[in-house]
Chains A and B, each alone.
Chain A
Amino acid sequence: MRRIFTLTKYDYLQRVRSYRFLIIFCASLAFAYTLIPAPGDTYSTVRIGEYLGNYNSAWIGYVTAIMASTFVSLIGYYLINNSVKVDQDTKVGQIVAATRISNFRYLLAKFLGNFLILLTIVILIFLVGIVLFFMYGSGYPFQITEFLTAYILIPIPTIVLISALAVVLEVFLAGRSALQNVAYFFLFAIMLVQGSRLAVNVDPFGVGFPTSEMESQVAKITTDSKKQQLNIGFIIGQKPIEKRFDFNGVPVSPLYITFRLLWPLFGILLIYVASRFFHRFEVKERLVVLKKTKSEPSESEKSLSEDLDLTSIPKLQKSMSIFPVFKTELLMMIRRGNRWLWGLNIIGMVLLAVLPLEAAHKIVLPILWFLQVHRWADLVTKEKNHQMHFFIFSSFKPAERLLTAQWLAAVALAIGLVLPLIIRYLVLGQWLLVVSILIGAVFIILVSSFIGILTGGKRLFEVLFFFTTYMNVNGLPYTDYYGSINNSHNYLFLMFGLTFVLALSSFLLRRFELKKV
């Protein structure tokens, strides 16, 4: 047990000390601050029809807990989905594999590390919730038990489950990070949609029971069924919501507690099952051996030639063309990930060609682009990830030439994938929509480039892209960067301006980075 504790402790410390975690932490702080709208604000996060709860301990506690449960499960996964991979990449895994630690204990330590990361974010939201209670204090007494009950029952079991799922996906889909991301995307959607259709107590995120209680408390005030409907998410209205009700918290039933306990136990059971199949860091070596056996070089080929005469090698001319760099960057993107993912891309392209235009533009396009997340997320960070940066940064004008080639290659891939839809719009003469998609392609690539250079990693972009795509598929207008909902000239100018700012910022950041290596 002590060994697990030690592993967990250093795994946690190693991860929270990263710059990337600091950024996610700050983003979570900003997110938590918006969970309870300030008096006079026109948006809501949890609303029952036209009603909002008075800002007592129960309402603030449960609303922030519900939002924490969904928010942390949505983006938190992308913070913790590489704990085993990091050990594999750093070769620490090979050392671990040579120790006596069992697979189950190792995976349990990784799961606990994941849990502590997510718990840190949940505690942050919890503390911000208390601060907001006092900031917006409307005369209600502070009841810490309402906060504690809400958090212990709602987000804590959820993050236990998510932490376990992250480990399980890493075990069963080892070395296939793109597939892990896609699998979780669909798993999350299924858990969210199907979970709410199950009995309210069974929902994996734990929001079904407290929200049904909120609905039933509103039902005592109004008989209009439309006014009892639950709305979760950032919904912006024209004016502040004036109708209020007193939310008295949730009468905790033994059945609800039992199911909230069952999900974490289910997660740990999954880890146990996964431990029976855990590769114990043999994957990469096995792949290399397989490939080597195909064309093992002979002994004589393994060494340097004695006949290399450097003076006889033809000299080269100066060439400022970035086309070879563009070509190779595109080639590397195409080769990234599993080949069968290209099968999904082709299906997506066919759907763009045959589905009704609205569905193709609003749903298929963002999902198709999201499927490229692993290709774009490390567009500008792969030099460092592959320890190529000393070669690259000591080459000729790297900021100007490489960055431009990377942007062009990624944009070419983005546009190439959605070409069927662009052609359909061109045939219909829908120029505005064509330009919207083109700017959308450039915009998302520049977001990845800006975030990559700023954070030095791909995690934050993965999280944001996942979050954005989820919002896009649900038809929310605020994250529509490719003109499926917002396609006016003004919106285009706004997107163009943002794109320009991102390009300029990325370029300046990269130049600064080159100077301070």
Chain B
Amino acid sequence: MVLEIKNLSKKYSREKYGLQNYSLLLEPGILGLLGPNGAGKSTLLKMIATVSTPTEGNIQLDGEDIVGHPDVMRAQLGYLPQDFGVYPNLNAYEFLNYMAAMKGVGGGNLKKRIELLLEGLNLIENAKRPIGTYSGGMKQRVGIAQALLNDPKVILFDEPTVGLDPQERVRFRNLISELSDDAIVILSSHIVSDIDTIADKVAIMKEGKLLAHDDLHSIIDVVKGKIAVTSMNKEALADFKEKYIVIDTVRKKGEIEVRYVDVDASSEEEVTLEDAYLYLTESN
């Protein structure tokens, strides 16, 4: 299965682009989509999910144009949008039955599949309560359940860990890593730790443009040798920030330890995806 995004643009007004000339080729595995707020991550996912139409360019799934034929994608899509609601008067069983019908799936296994998903997502005990009474994390899990309902081959998670507590986030990451064998999973987030443990590949975006797309280690290697650490007082920090890209600051015994990018550093400092992400987004 191949998902090909070719020269994709979404124009909101004469000069405002949500996404500009974006191209990407994806095969089964997990792509971590990183970018600051407003980078165009949700815009891209909406277009892949066929709920938004590109202004230019096209998206092909196994060679079929999904902009012109959205049902090709919809038949095998699992999508968890960033902001979503639920029908508060339905319980989890009813909601998932409804969503299964909307997705065009059913049959004798439906009840069993819904039960197993609810069980796996630890919603079974509360499955008969109206969803309107659920907490934010529980609603998020209902959203995850509906995304996995139709055994999708293209799975889009837009900021999926919002509302989940730290334990749930870890378990969610374990869950989606299971999906990567035969499905294309795109996981969008601005939280680097959501991505760096599970993504096979990483795409970094800013202001609607693709800054980098490569496997995780190659992306991290971009900043290898360029990260340095120094200490200074509070007053000097403002001037320092004008000269260097500051990754992190830690207050230590009246001084501030600063982790920053210095392209000439040739340092031995261990680098992370967060370093690479900040370097790429700040330097472009």
Q: List residues of A whose CB falls within 8 A of some B CB.
A: 288, 291-292, 295, 297-298, 300-325, 328, 331-332, 335-336, 382, 386-398, 401-402, 514-517
Contacts and interface: CB of A to CB of B under 8 A. Distances in A.
Contact of A302 (B85, B107, B122, B132): B122
A382 B87 contact: yes
Contact of A325 (B83, B101, B126, B146): B101
A315 B110 CA distance: 8
19 contacts: A304-B121, A304-B171, A305-B119, A305-B121, A313-B113, A313-B116, A313-B117, A315-B113, A316-B107, A318-B104, A324-B100, A328-B94, A328-B101, A332-B90, A388-B86, A390-B84, A395-B74, A401-B104, A517-B52
Contacts of A301: 122, 125-126
Contact of B86 (A316, A322, A386): A386
Nearest to B128: A295
Contacts of B174: 306
Nearest to A311: B178
Given A303-B167, A304-B168, A517 B51 contact: yes
Interface string B71-108: 10011010101011111111000100111111111111
A322 B102 CA distance: 8
Contacts of A387: 83-85
B141 to A, nearest CB: 7
Nearest to B83: A387
Interface string B166-180: 011001101100110
A174 B98 CA distance: 30
Contacts of B137: 302
B106 A317 contact: yes
B141 A304 contact: yes
Given A291-B133, A517-B52, A402 B178 contact: no
Nearest to A308: B120
B109 interface: yes
B109 A314 contact: yes
A317 B105 contact: yes
A397 B69 CA distance: 11
A319 B75 CA distance: 11
A135 to B, nearest CB: 40
B10 to A, nearest CB: 11
Contacts of A308: 116-117, 119-121, 175
Contacts of B9: none
Identify the interface centre among B85, B110, B167: most chain A CB within 10 Å of its CB. B85
Contact of B171 (A303, A398, A516): A303
B138 interface: yes
A329 to B, nearest CB: 8
B106 A291 contact: no
A394 B83 CA distance: 14
B58 interface: no
A90 to B, nearest CB: 13
A322 B106 CA distance: 11
Contacts of B167: 303
A401 B7 CA distance: 32
Given A309-B178, A319-B101, A395-B103, 12 more contacts: A292-B133, A304-B121, A308-B121, A313-B113, A315-B109, A316-B149, A332-B87, A386-B85, A388-B85, A393-B51, A395-B74, A396-B75
Contacts of B141: 304
Nearest to A328: B98
A314 B120 CA distance: 13
Contact of A288 (B87, B90, B122, B133): B133
Contacts of A303: 122, 165, 167-168, 171
B179 A310 contact: yes
B89 A332 contact: yes
B101 A394 contact: no
Contact of A401 (B51, B79, B102, B129): B102
B157 to A, nearest CB: 13
A400 to B, nearest CB: 10
Q: Which 9 A-B pairs have the closest CB atoms?
A: A308-B120, A319-B106, A387-B85, A317-B107, A396-B104, A324-B101, A395-B102, A314-B109, A304-B171
Given A303-B122, A394-B77, A291 B129 contact: yes
B104 A320 contact: yes
B158 to A, nearest CB: 9
B122 A396 contact: no
Contacts of A324: 97-98, 100-101, 106
B84 A316 contact: no
Interface in B136-185: 137-138, 141, 146, 148-151, 164-165, 167-168, 171-172, 174-175, 178-179
Nearest to A287: B133
Nearest to B121: A304
Given A310-B178, A321-B101, A395-B74, A304 B109 contact: no
B117 to A, nearest CB: 7
B50 interface: yes
A311 B180 CA distance: 11
A396 B126 contact: no
Contact of B71 (A319, A322, A396, A402): A396
A395 B100 CA distance: 9
A391 B99 contact: yes
B46 interface: yes
A391 B81 contact: yes
A448 B69 CA distance: 29
A321 B121 contact: no
Contacts of B99: 391, 395
A516 B46 CA distance: 12
B218 to A, nearest CB: 29
A186 B264 CA distance: 79
Contacts of A394: 49-51, 74, 77, 79
B188 interface: no
B156 to A, nearest CB: 9
B53 interface: yes
A307 B21 CA distance: 42
B121 A319 contact: no
Nearest to A304: B171
Interface in B174-211: 174-175, 178-179
Contact of A316 (B94, B135, B150): B150
B253 interface: no
Given A390-B79, A391-B79, A295 B101 contact: no
Contacts of A382: 87
A489 B81 CA distance: 50
B112 interface: yes
